[in-house]
Structure formats: C-alpha cells, structure tokens
C-alpha cells in the first residue's frame, strides 16, 4: 500500500482559484533550492540577505555623522544669532529671554501631559497658559515699574496700572485658581491636581528664574553676558578635561561626568572669567545700566561706572616680603565667586534636568533645536546661574541711591497736591540759583501756582 505524500500540491484541485501561499510555504520554498516552477523548470531560489554587522556599523556611523553635522551647524547659528542680538540692543536680548521662557515652559509642561485624559478635560492646557500669562504679567510689570517708573507714573493712563499692579496681578491669579477648582471633574482629580502642581513647579523653576536674567540685562549687559559665558565655558572645559583626564565618576545621574573634569573645568573657568572681565570692563555698553532701550553697540551708553569696575590700590601684607602696590578692580575678586558658582553649583541644574528626564524615560525635553534637543536641554544650568547673578549683584555690588523714579513715586503717593506744588516751586528756585533755568521760567511757574 502506497504511503501518502505530505505537502504535495495538486494543481487540478485548485477549483479555478489561485491558492495563496502561507508564510510556511514561502519558507519551505526558500529552503528547497531546486523546487520546480509552473513551467516545469527548476527555479533557483535567492537566499534572503541578512544585514551584516559591518552594514549596521556603517549605518550607525552615518547616523551619528549626520547628527554631528546638524548639531555643529545649529551651534554656530545659535552663537551668531546670540551675538547679533546682543550687539543690536538690550531689547533684542529681552525678546530672546522671553521666548526661552515660553518655549521651556511648554516643553516641561508637555512631559506630564496625558493626551487621552486631556481630551476629556477641555481647559487643562488653557489653564496652564493662563497661569503662565498671569505670572509673566506680574514679573514683567514689576521690572518695568522698577526701571521705568519715571515714565509710567507721569502718564495718566498707565498710572493706575503702575500703582495697583500687584493687586491686579493677585486678582488675575485668583480668577485662575477659582476657575481651576470649578473645573474639577470626578474621576480626574488626581490628574488635574498633578497638572496644577506641575504647572506651578515649572513656573517657579523656569519662568521666575528666567525673569531675573532679564533684570540682569537692565542692570548692564555684563551681568547677563558674563554668567551665560561662564556656564558655556565650564560645560566645554568639563567635556575636554573629562575625556583627557577623567577617571572617577562624579554622579550617577550623569555617568559621563567625572571628578577630574569637574575640577579641571572649575580652574579653566576662573581663568577665562578673569580675562573676559578685563575685556568687558573697558566698554560702557556692557557696564552701564539700561537708560535707553534703543541703544546698541554703535550708539553706546553713557553713565557713571559702578565703583566695582574702577581699579583700586591693593598692597600685599608685610609678611609676604613683597612691598608692592597693585591696582585691581574689585570686579576681579567678584568674578572668582561667579566662576566658582558656575563650575560647582550651576551644573546641578543640569543634573536635576537629567534626573527629571530619566524619571519620565525621555532623551530630550523636545526638538526645538535640531541636533540639540529642546531649549530646556540647553538652558537647564543657565536658569539657576542667572538667578544667582541677580541675587549676588543686588547683595554685594549694586549701589543704591535715590532715582528720579523713586522721587516721583514718593511725591505722588506721599504728598498732597498742594505739597507737590510746593516741591515744584522749590525746585524751580533751586534750578534758577544753579543757573539751570532762566528767571522767566521761574516767573511763569510762580504765576501758574498763584492761579491755583
């Protein structure tokens, strides 16, 4: 009795329809080098080509090469754009800082978003942006009032906004708070409160800290450029020293960071800061506070330099045996503190960002900058450094004296109209005695005052 043959196909049993080959049929056909074709001839099967390890290495190399090229191009684009904006005027730097605030806030908020839940909650994103707008209104309003109160307080329309700015900001925030509570939905409480807390964390760590960087611009371009350049320089030298001398891992959050690179970058950053400060102190465009937002590097700025930029005589102690006097600007001593903070403390802003990304299992905060990731990936250390620069400047360097805006504010808020007129009359007499105004102006002023 003949045995039945398995896997034998009979063409006359196809019932007029073609039989579709299954995956097993294809694999079997591929394994039989001499399987007959439809015309009875023996078809040569082509073996499936597997990707060789060499090909994988080449494709990986090409990918890294393309990423490196893109990253390099955009690095030079950002550097060129930064210097063009800085030399074009303070207002352009302020615009850049504002854009960085907004984009960084968007990137951080997007990390904790759950799209499926956002579809069921209509106002989640709207509330995030509302709180951002409210915070920026408060912070920018505080800065504008502080630096330009001599303009705002004499304007009839802007005066109410200037004098009641903090109350208006508070009420705007309360409106958002009430709306948030009213929008709570059953079954989504955890997600909504998580978003509320996450939004406020982003506002503090990004928007508030970045805002103080803008205040540094108003105090003088050097207080903006120097901290920024110190952080960038430290990052570069940490990489160079790390790959050259690095042996000991510094922190587990960033496995590539080494103790040797950390210390080497600190020393190099101090040296860079010393020489860079010597250069910047020579130009009033960098050391003068902003008194004209239309100024640029060509028009320049005029001011009485802060004493911190004026060289002072220093004599070495007698026990050194060197009886010599050196003239050094106090800023050269302050730069040691700036460089130390940029080297030893500011990098922990980057470590914090690395831990945050590891928590959410993401490589970058976004794709805002091709080859670099998101804005937040490049600014994680800059936020804390800018905040430190503002606090240090106002604690140890700033010279506090009454400004025109301070006097006007005191006169408007603390004196009656009659008392304000007496101040005007007294100032008129003083200016006449100093030869600043003519007698005719004083007479006209007194005539108008008598009519009242």
Kindly report which listed range (39-43, 108-112, 151-155, 373-377) carries the lowest average pLDDT score. Answer: 39-43
pLDDT at 315: 84
Share of the chain residues as helix, strand and coil, in percent rounded to the nearest 5: 65, 5, 30
Task: Report whether 399 contacts 389 (CB < 8 A).
Answer: no
Rounded CA gap, 149 and 138, in Å?
15
- Given 397, 419, 437, the domain boundary residue is 397
Judgement on whether residues 327 and 422 belong to the same structural domain of the protein: no
- pTM for the complete prediction? 0.76
pLDDT-above-70 percentage for the chain: 85
Residue 2 forms part of a structural domain: no
pLDDT at 58: 63
Judgement on whether residues 391 and 427 belong to the same structural domain of the protein: no
Residue 408 forms part of a structural domain: yes
DSSP 180-229: HHHT--TT-HHHHHHHHHHHHHHIIIIIIHHHHHHHHHHH-THHHHHHHH
Judgement on whether residues 360 and 437 belong to the same structural domain of the protein: no
DSSP state of 309: G
Tokens standing for 112?
């904790």
pLDDT-above-90 percentage for the chain: 37
| Mean pLDDT value across residues 309-335 | 87
Residue 151 forms part of a structural domain: no
Judgement on whether residues 439 and 323 belong to the same structural domain of the protein: no
Residue 83 forms part of a structural domain: yes
Judgement on whether residues 316 and 422 belong to the same structural domain of the protein: no
pLDDT at 131: 96
Judgement on whether residues 257 and 358 belong to the same structural domain of the protein: yes
Residue 222 forms part of a structural domain: yes
Task: Report whether 397 contacts 306 (CB < 8 A).
Answer: yes
Task: Report whether 151 contacts 290 (CB < 8 A).
Answer: no
Residue 416 forms part of a structural domain: yes
Judgement on whether residues 68 and 98 belong to the same structural domain of the protein: yes
Instruction: Determine the structural domain holding residue 437 and report its residue range.
Output: 404-449
Judgement on whether residues 298 and 426 belong to the same structural domain of the protein: no
Q: Band the pLDDT of 11: cuts 50, 70, 90.
A: very low
pLDDT at 39: 46
Judgement on whether residues 303 and 320 belong to the same structural domain of the protein: yes
Kindly report which listed range (192-196, 258-262, 335-339, 404-408) carries the lowest average pLDDT score. Answer: 404-408
Rounded CA gap, 151 and 404, in Å?
10
- Given 397, 414, 433, the domain boundary residue is 397
Tokens standing for 367?
């794709």
Residue 172 forms part of a structural domain: no
Number of domains in the chain: 2
Judgement on whether residues 335 and 218 belong to the same structural domain of the protein: yes
Q: Kindly report, residue by residue over 189-246, the tens digit of the pLDDT.
A: 888 898 999 999 999 989 999 889 989 999 999 999 999 999 999 999 998 999 888 8
Burial class (CB in 10 A: 0-12, 13-18, 19+), 257: buried
| Mean pLDDT value across residues 138-164 | 82
Judgement on whether residues 340 and 424 belong to the same structural domain of the protein: no
pLDDT at 360: 85
Q: Kindly report, residue by residue over 311-323, the tens digit of the pLDDT.
A: 999 887 778 777 7
Residue 23 forms part of a structural domain: no
Judgement on whether residues 329 and 414 belong to the same structural domain of the protein: no
Q: Kindly report, residue by residue over 52-95, the tens digit of the pLDDT.
A: 565 666 677 777 778 788 888 888 888 899 899 999 999 999 99
């Amino acid at each position: 009795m003949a045995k039945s043959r398995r896997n034998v196909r009979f063409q006359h049993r196809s019932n007029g329809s073609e039989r579709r080959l299954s995956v097993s049929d294809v694999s079997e056909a591929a394994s039989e080098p001499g399987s007959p074709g439809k015309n009875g001839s023996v078809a040569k099967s082509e073996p499936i080509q597997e990707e060789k390890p060499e090909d994988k290495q080449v494709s990986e190399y090409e990918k890294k090469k393309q990423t490196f090229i893109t990253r390099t191009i955009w690095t030079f684009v950002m550097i060129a754009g930064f210097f063009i904006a800085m030399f074009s005027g303070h207002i352009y730097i302020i615009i850049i800082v504002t854009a960085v605030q907004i984009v960084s806030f968007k990137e951080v908020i997007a990390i904790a978003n759950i799209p499926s839940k956002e579809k069921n909650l209509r106002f989640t994103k709207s509330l995030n942006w509302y709180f951002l707008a409210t915070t920026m209104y408060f912070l920018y309003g505080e800065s504008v009032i502080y630096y330009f109160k001599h303009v705002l307080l004499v304007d009839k329309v802007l005066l109410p906004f200037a004098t009641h700015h903090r109350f208006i900001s508070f009420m705007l925030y309360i409106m958002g708070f009430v709306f948030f509570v009213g929008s709570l939905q059953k079954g989504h409480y955890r997600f909504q409160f998580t978003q509320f807390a996450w939004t406020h964390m982003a506002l503090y760590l990004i928007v508030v800290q970045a805002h103080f960087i803008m205040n540094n611009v108003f105090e003088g371009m050097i207080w903006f450029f120097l901290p920024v350049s110190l952080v960038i320089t430290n990052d570069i030298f940490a990489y160079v020293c790390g790959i050259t001398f690095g042996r000991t891992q510094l922190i587990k959050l960033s496995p590539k960071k080494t103790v040797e690179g950390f210390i080497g970058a600190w020393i190099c950053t101090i040296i860079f800061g010393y020489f860079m400060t010597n250069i910047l102190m020579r130009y009033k465009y960098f050391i003068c506070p902003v008194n004209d937002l239309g100024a640029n590097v060509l028009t320049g700025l005029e001011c009485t330099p802060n004493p911190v930029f004026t060289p002072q005589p220093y004599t070495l102690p007698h026990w050194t045996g060197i009886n010599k006097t050196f003239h050094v600007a106090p800023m050269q001593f302050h730069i040691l503190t700036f460089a130390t903070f940029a080297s030893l403390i500011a990098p922990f802003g980057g470590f914090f960002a690395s831990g945050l990304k590891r928590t959410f299992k993401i490589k970058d905060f976004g794709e805002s900058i091709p080859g670099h990731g998101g804005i937040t990936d490049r600014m994680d250390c800059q936020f804390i450094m800018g905040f430190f620069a503002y606090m240090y400047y106002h604690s140890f360097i700033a010279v506090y004296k009454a400004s025109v805006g301070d006097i006007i504010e005191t006169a408007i808020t603390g004196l009656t109209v009659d008392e304000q007129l007496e101040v005007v009359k007294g100032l008129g007499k003083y200016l006449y005695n100093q030869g600043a105004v003519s007698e005719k102006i004083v007479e006209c002023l007194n005539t108008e005052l008598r009519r009242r």
